[in-house]
Amino acid sequence: MVYTPNEIVRFMIESTDWLCERHFKKSLIDRGVNILDPAAGTGTFVVELMEHFRGQPEKLAYKYGAELYANEVAILPYYVANLNIEATYAAIVGAYAEFPGLCFVDTLDNVAALGIYSGFQPDLFAAISDENSERVRRQNTRKISVVIGNPPYNAWQENYNQNNANRPYARVDQRIAATYIKEGTAQNKNSVYDMYTRFVRWASDRVKDEGVIAFIIGRKLFAKAAYDGFRKVIAREFAEIWVFDLGGDVRDNPKLSGTKHNVFGIQTGVAMVFLVKRKGVKGGAVIRYARRSEMETAEEKLSAISSIGGLSKLQVETIQPDEKNDWLDRSSNDWDKLMPLVDPRAPVSRTTSQPKVIFRLMSNGLKTQRDEWVYDAGRRELVMKARSMVEAYEATRRDSSFVDRDTIKWDRELTRYLGKRVAKTFDEGAVVRAAYRPFTKRWLYFDQHFNGMIYQLPSMFGRGPNPTQIFTDPFAQKPWMALSVDGVPDLHLVGAAAAAICTPRFRYNKEGERLDNITDWALKQFAERYGKAITISKDDIFAYVYAVLHDPVYRETYALNLKREFPRIPLYDHFERWRAWGQTLLDLHIGYETVAPFGLTRTDTPDPRRARGTTPAVKLKSDHEHGFIVLDAETQLSGVPAEAWRYQLGNRSALDWVLDQHKEKTPKDPTIRARFNTYRFADYKEAVVDLLDRVTTVSVETVRITDAMRAAPR
């Protein structure tokens, strides 16, 4: 359980009290102000509220018995909260009294009091006790004026074998679909159904037309493109919004440490948000924003929060959302006038349509759900694993009373195929080469049933290699990048928290016919822009686009846009120059295994401490300053030029990606660890030496071209 620091709790209570006075001429202690903590935990907010009311025993006694409510769904925190609240009350007023406002209930299931949004509501927890059911019913009859607390946050459950994936909240999720998602543009709609948005949606409906909501929530709701609909709706539903951004998003800024810079010691950035709903106020919310310094430590943030005391003393700026409902990092440029690269909303099945984009078909990279089972550095090793996986699946299919969770990793999709009695046999043709990480290929068992999400990839790679441009998705938590491959790319080509978006040169229909993936509309736009002086083919456009995506000036000018949207392409002067640069980059990045080695110097020094029959200790480390790479205890490569390290993909250089992907790592899957953990760097050492030498050439040449781009006229 993550506890809320007292400094934050006190700040939120002081601020909420001030907002009630400011907007409704009432204090929290006044009669008629019903207060609810919907996720009480161990009762921190209720305890601090009573401390806030200290010195007013008569008012506190009434509030305690009639207008103070708290919900908790976990049994241990529920009992601890009960003890804490009743002990604090007794210490303040000098007499014990049972706290009648604590309910054992899941707030998001308790929709009976949401008015027209309630829908069907069964009896809640009647089996726990009649008294608890009566408490829930009593709470639901009250007009809640203030909802305050720290909603629980849990990321989407990724390990399906644990059989405890996040469950939906039907009515609240319907409200999210009808509001935040309907009004937004998010492609990955699942991300909007998180616990923070669910609690805000529930509380927004619970206070009806008047009240204050004070929550701790993830800062991504105000910073990420996926939540544009959320921002649009709350700006319309509320009269005033205050956001106190505490930062600490480690995924956005890898220089931060969750334990050092985040006030909760977690990886997700957080904020305090205060939402004021007022009857009859129209015209959109006044949005006030403040943020602590990015590099402040958690202790410094908490000290500052304590010294400020509340919103009334907080220095803020007023935010005016832009037309895309961005609140932070708003951009001002000609982005909307550029050519759209893709349209994720374009119907895939209609091959005759011509959307006004450059690439007709796009797809996410492959999300296998079971990388350790379907990828391997060695072909023979992959075949062994894949055969075992298929056999385990078939054994389970034949005996439906037993699900083999020990020798195969299950997910929703594979479980669904099992329920449909889909029979499987090992397919040698499904063993293909794939782009797993930058400049690192793996053998892949490419099968629609054993690869969790294949998206549109069969329409791209169902007939073999296909030149494909990859770029980082707009919602990634890694720096934006572009790369080209000719085999199936993994979803996390540049690591976790960043999805790879694929735009192939060709696509294939169900009959296997190869079709152009660059639209006639795009060809027409290029022809009109550059006139009849040159003849432009679709291959030329493919190369030109790749050049633009590598242009450092383009990346800097449109950095904020690329964090929120799919790329758009400007039409520069000197088309042929950019096309040539793009073609060279395509040849380098796709054909990296065959480019000329750079000529690194290899030094082998026998390790006198190594026992006979063993291999040298693996190091795989780089020294950027001195230009060398240590492979193991005996072998070192030197002479790496400084510019080679400048070729970055995400958070790593191309060379560092190669080193990272050839380390000996203990598999997480217990079956893989016990039966198939055969990878040894020593078996691939010579191939890695050769690969590093060639990727050095790729890196140096890429940097040479991008430097020339920076200096080029546009």
| 3-state SS record for 183-233 | CCCCCCHHHHCCHHHHHHHHHHHHCCCCEEEEEEEECHHHHCHHHHHHHHH
Closest CA to 199 of 164, 150, 267, 246: 150
- Does residue 14 or residue 189 have the better pLDDT? 14
User: Which amino acid does the sequence have at 598?
Assistant: F
Q: Is the pLDDT of residue 225 over 90?
A: no
Mean pLDDT of 324-342: 87
Q: Is the pLDDT of residue 539 over 60?
A: yes
User: Which amino acid does the sequence have at 329?
Assistant: D
Q: Who contacts 76 (Cβ-Cβ below 8 Å, separation ≥6)?
A: none
How far is Cα 625 from Cα 641, in angstroms, rounded to an integer?
10
How far is Cα 4 from Cα 39, in angstroms, rounded to an integer?
12
Mean pLDDT of 109-123: 75
Tell me what pLDDT residue 284 has. 85
Tell me what pLDDT residue 564 has. 84
Mean pLDDT of 329-357: 79
How far is Cα 81 from Cα 67, in angstroms, rounded to an integer?
17
Tell me what pLDDT residue 224 has. 85
Tell me what pLDDT residue 254 has. 75
Q: Write the DSSP string, 281-329.
A: --S--EEEEEE--TT--HHHHHHHHHHH-SGGG---EEE---TT---SS
How far is Cα 560 from Cα 548, in angstroms, rounded to an integer?
16
Tell me what pLDDT residue 584 has. 98
pLDDT band, very low/low/confident/very high, at 149 (cuts 50, 70, 90)? very high
Instruction: List, for residues 567-623, the tens digit of each pLDDT value.
Output: 999 999 999 999 999 999 999 999 999 999 999 999 999 999 999 989 999 999 999
Q: Which structure tokens are listed for 573? A: 């002067």
Q: Which residues pair with 555 in a beta bridge?
A: none
3-state secondary structure of 516: strand
pLDDT band, very low/low/confident/very high, at 520 (cuts 50, 70, 90)? very high
- Does residue 152 or residue 626 have the better pLDDT? 626
Closest CA to 177 of 187, 167, 192: 192
CB 142 within 8 A of CB 234: no
Q: Is the pLDDT of residue 1 over 70?
A: no
Q: How many CB atoms lie within 10 A of CB 36?
A: 28
Tell me what pLDDT residue 163 has. 47
3-state secondary structure of 298: helix
Q: Which structure tokens are listed for 181? A: 């998602």
Tell me what pLDDT residue 347 has. 65
Q: Which residues pair with 621 in a beta bridge?
A: 630
Lowest mean pLDDT among 56-65, 308-317, 353-362, 399-408: 399-408
Q: Write the DSSP string, 51-94.
A: HHTTT-HHHHHHIIIIIEEEEE-SHHHHHHHHHHHHHHHHHHHS
CB 241 within 8 A of CB 235: yes
Mean pLDDT of 160-165: 46
Percent residues over pLDDT 70 in the chain: 95
How far is Cα 105 from Cα 31, in angstroms, rounded to an integer?
25
CA angle, 484 as apex, 483 and 489 as ends, to 5°?
95
Lowest mean pLDDT among 80-89, 259-268, 504-513: 259-268
Q: pLDDT averaged over the chain? A: 91
CA 372 from chain centre, in angstroms, equals: 22
How far is Cα 27 from Cα 18, in angstroms, rounded to an integer?
7
Tell me what pLDDT residue 475 has. 76
pLDDT band, very low/low/confident/very high, at 158 (cuts 50, 70, 90)? very low
Tell me what pLDDT residue 344 has. 81
How far is Cα 151 from Cα 272, in angstroms, rounded to an integer?
11
How far is Cα 62 from Cα 185, in angstroms, rounded to an integer?
47
Q: Is the pLDDT of residue 352 over 70?
A: no
Lowest mean pLDDT among 47-51, 136-140, 327-331: 327-331
Tell me what pLDDT residue 138 has. 95
Q: Is the pLDDT of residue 162 over 50?
A: no
CA separation (Å) from 257 to 65, 247, 251, 266, 471?
Answer: 43, 11, 10, 9, 27
3-state secondary structure of 681: helix
All domains of the chain, ordered by start, with CATH? Answer: 6-155+166-319 (3.40.50.150), 601-711 (no CATH)
Q: Is the pLDDT of residue 157 over 50?
A: no
CA separation (Å) from 564 to 22, 226, 330, 497, 598?
Answer: 36, 8, 10, 15, 38
Q: Which residues pair with 12 in a beta bridge?
A: none
